[in-house]
Copies of this chain bind each other. A is one copy, B any other.
Amino acid sequence: MRYGPMFGPDVTFLGVDRCDLGEPSSFADADVVILGAPFDGGTTNRPGTRFGPSAMRQACYLEHDGSRPSLALRTDGLRDLKVYDAGDVEMFSGDIERALGALEEAVATVAAAGAIPLVLGGDHSITLPDAKGVARHHGYGRVSMVHFDAHADTGEIEFGSLYGHGLPMRRLIESGAIRGDRFLQIGLRGYWPGPTVLDWMAEQRMRSYEMSEIVARGVDECLSEAFTTAVDECEGVFLSVDIDVVDPGMAPGTGTPEPGGLTARQLLDAVRRCCLELPIVGVDVVEVSPPYDHADITAYLGNRVVLEALSAVARRRSGEPWDPSQPLLDGR
């Protein structure tokens, strides 16, 4: 009954075990279930993210053996947690409403089973069903959002549609799934959206860290401040990572590149902190577009964002505190 892959061969994320969403027993013990969302029907410019799940699952030079011990965190995100890959959700890029609906069901199924859904996008329109699916389990308004992105994705309508990769955050807040005042955006920059949308955002009491603020205050201070909000009256946090939060020089394989972003190093460190310090209940990594990539470096980065998140979740669950200054071989 497992749908498997929409494109190409049926592989799992670095070789973790498969599960079948249609058979609850196949993932009953899951800590995390990976889902592919091979969809780019919501992009307003360059497509290609339909190949993001396949690319991120494979982008590693090591053996695909379902194990990745983190040097830094001293956990194995794929072994210390029970991680399954449920394959792709069938998402025809030509029918966004049907596609997003199918994804929401899949995510909700995972969340209902007590596991963290980790969705490999796909364009950013998928965060609407991702976060709604999670909120259906944890409670509308009970999940906050930490959102790394160059763009606010709070547009009202695009190409005549209420769905698309520039709009999901607005739809999410309107739906009540995520409270506007628990919506934390990191890395915004550039020339969109305009004043009307920004006014709407301010009305929702969103908190958006533009790059100027991040440069002036430091990313760590901004994160610490954001984390305080994230856990205020919310038990869970959804982490949505748009790869374009990183500078296009280090993440060229994306659809709407905006110069002046974080370094890859900064993103990895920030994701690590999120998953070490916050009660993550859902994750997505979106906007990796292989046709625009070079030597797979953006797919590699997406893969490492996933691993960083899982390693840190595992570390958090271990209960052991973590000191970034500890030498690698210390304590061995």
Q: Which of B191, B256, B307 contacts A68 (CB 8 A)?
A: B191
Q: Which of A6-14, A25-33, A109-117, A170-178 forms contacts with chain B?
A: A6-14
Instruction: Determine if A47 and B58 form an interchain contact, defined as CB atoms under 8 angstroms apart.
Output: no
Chain B residue numbers with a CB within 8 Å of A216 are: 324-325
CA–CA, A212 and B73, complex, Å? 9
Residues 278-297 of chain A, each 1 if its beta carbon lies under 8 Å from chain B, else 0: 00000000000001111111
Contact of A208 among B5, B69, B265, B329 (CB under 8 A): B329
A15 at the interface (CB under 8 A from B): yes
Q: Say whether A213 contacts B250, CB under 8 Å.
A: no
Q: Contacting chain B: which of A91-99, A128-136, A140-148, A233-241?
A: A91-99
- Which size bracket describes the interface of A in this complex? 35 or more
Closest to A123 in B: B94
The residues of B that contact A61 with a CB separation of less than 8 Å are: 44-46, 255-257
Distance A198 CA – B207 CA, assembled complex (angstroms): 42
Q: Identify the closest chain B residue to A249 (Cβ).
A: B250
* Interface assignment of A124: CB less than 8 Å from any CB of chain B: no
Contacts of A15 in B (CB 8 A): 9-10
**Which residue of B has the minimal Cβ distance to A264?**
B259
How far apart are the CA atoms of A94 and B327 in the complex, in Å? 34
**Residues of chain B lying within 8 A (CB to CB) of residue A64:** 5, 8-10
Pairs A–B under 8 Å by Cβ, sample size 7: A45-B61, A69-B194, A71-B189, A94-B99, A188-B328, A206-B329, A211-B265
